[in-house]
């Protein structure tokens, strides 16, 4: 029986049923005992007698990654974008939004063109060669000067309608982080959201009232909660307080042991269970250890897992999604951590073919050991990463 729109046989995969040999599987919300069967690129059975140890899980989705292992999203070429996609399965990631920080308009335009080219090439491929590039996450330049984070303050700008429409017209954007309180901000929220682009509030000085208005206009998330936005206070909940109390809003978090105290990480999950998404905010230095790196227009020093500007301000993260899941699991439990890397981001971006594991789903999977280390990653049924002794 053929399930889905495309069979493994049609793309040259082995069409014989094959077991993954795991003891548990995660459906996107809960863990279950049993093994998984793939036929071609599709899952054709779940809950089979356990075939060994480990967990089969939907592949991880990273909605905010700025670079990886020496490649910077803003300054690289098409080959570099494709290289990032090819490397991410080693961290369990099967889909990602490449994030562009604040820069000159022509630099952003060039990067959006590269993202468009790589995404088109992936769609034309019969066999996957890397994690799926969902599109661009534009983080800036429509940000508040009061909460710039590492973004160059001199390049921040109001939400000019012409520029907003220009970037919408590229078709490259899947997500935008912006400050709704800047001039033109709410109109930009309208424009982006009405074109199917997820708007996330971030790097903003919005009051609770302003944040609530932006969410009412279509914004659907808050970027890296507790970091780089007005914080909640006794008489002003700010964007974080509003996001946590609205059942329709997702808050993304950076679980790297640097950006958030563990108590605050726990607080977020307890306040909004099922509405917290892990992001790495990983930069060019991710996976490379200590050193000095060029991150877009910024010079960043990495020491002992902290990426900082000369001023000492944090400049993204060097976390990977697999390490973030392990840290979150130690704080929240395994099911909540896995959901935050799979079904929650998939639902936020409206990706019905990602983030869930069940019969008829495409084989975009990560196989984990009981310590949540990545042992094998499959994209569309193909093994793109495997530990040698797995």
**N residues, the chain:** 390
Cα–Cα distance, 2 to 42 (Å, whole number): 9
* Residue 248 annotated in active site: no
Q: Strands of 276-278's sheet, edge to edge?
A: 60-65, 93-101, 132-139, 173-178, 198-201, 221-222, 250-253, 276-278
Active-site residue, from 256, 281, 322, 364: 281
**3-state DSSP call for residue 241?**
helix
* Nearest CA-CA partner of 80 in 33, 144, 2, 133: 133
Q: Where are the alpha helices (DSSP H) in the chain?
A: 78-87, 105-124, 161-169, 185-194, 208-216, 238-245, 262-271, 321-332, 334-341, 343-349
User: Can you state the angle between helices 208-216 and 185-194, rounded to 10 degrees?
Assistant: 30
Residue in the block written with tokens 């929650």: 344
CB distance 131 to 383 below 8 Å: no
Q: What burial letters (b/e) apply to 343-352, b meaning 16+ CB within 10 Å?
A: bbbbbbbebe
CB distance 61 to 96 below 8 Å: yes
Q: How would DSSP label each residue in 2-45?
A: --SS--GGGGT---S-EE---SEEE-SS-EEESEEEEETTEEEE
Side-chain half-sphere CA neighbours of 374 within 13 A: 26
Cα–Cα distance, 314 to 329 (Å, whole number): 24
- From the number of C-beta atoms within 10 Å of its C-beta (0-12, 13-18, 19+), residue 49 rates as exposed
Cα–Cα distance, 73 to 298 (Å, whole number): 13
CB distance 271 to 279 below 8 Å: no
What's the alpha-carbon Rg for the chain, to the nearest Å?
20
Which are the catalytic amino acids?
281
């Amino acid at each position: 029986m053929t399930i889905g729109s495309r069979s493994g046989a049609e793309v040259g995969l082995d069409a014989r049923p094959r077991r993954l040999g795991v003891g548990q599987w995660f459906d996107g919300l809960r863990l279950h005992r049993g093994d998984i069967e793939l036929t071609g690129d599709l899952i054709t059975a779940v809950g089979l007698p356990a075939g060994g140890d480990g967990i089969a899980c939907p592949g991880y989705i990273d909605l905010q990654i700025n670079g990886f292992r020496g490649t910077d999203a803003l300054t690289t070429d098409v080959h570099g974008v494709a290289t990032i996609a090819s490397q991410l399965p080693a961290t369990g990631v099967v889909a990602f939004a490449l994030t562009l920080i604040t820069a000159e308009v022509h630099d952003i335009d060039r990067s959006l063109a590269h993202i468009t080219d790589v995404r088109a090439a992936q769609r034309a491929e019969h066999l996957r060669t890397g994690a799926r590039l969902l599109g661009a996450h534009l983080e800036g330049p429509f940000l508040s000067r009061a909460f710039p984070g590492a973004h160059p303050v001199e390049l921040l700008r109001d939400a000019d309608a012409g520029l907003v429409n220009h970037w919408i017209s590229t078709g490259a954007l899947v997500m935008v982080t912006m400050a709704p309180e800047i001039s033109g901000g709410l109109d930009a929220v309208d424009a982006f959201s009405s074109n199917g682009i997820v708007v996330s509030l971030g790097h903003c000085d919005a009051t609770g009232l302003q944040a609530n208005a932006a969410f009412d206009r279509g914004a659907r998330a808050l970027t890296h909660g507790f970091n780089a936005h007005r914080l909640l206070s006794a008489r002003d909940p700010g964007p974080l307080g509003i996001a946590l109390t609205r059942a329709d809003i997702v808050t993304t978090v950076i679980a790297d042991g640097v950006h958030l105290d563990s108590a605050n990480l726990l607080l977020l999950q307890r306040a909004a269970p099922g509405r917290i998404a892990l992001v790495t905010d990983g930069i060019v230095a991710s996976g490379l250890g200590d050193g000095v790196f060029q991150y877009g227009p910024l010079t960043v020093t990495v020491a002992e897992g902290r990426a900082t500007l000369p001023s000492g301000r944090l400049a993204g993260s060097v976390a990977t999604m697999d390490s973030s899941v392990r840290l979150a699991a130690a704080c929240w439990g395994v099911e909540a951590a896995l959901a935050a890397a799979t079904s929650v981001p998939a639902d936020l971006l409206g990706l019905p073919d990602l983030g869930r594991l069940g019969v008829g789903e495409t084989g975009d999977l990560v196989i984990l050991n009981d310590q949540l280390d990545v042992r094998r990653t499959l994209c569309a049924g193909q093994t793109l990463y495997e530990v040698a002794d797995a």
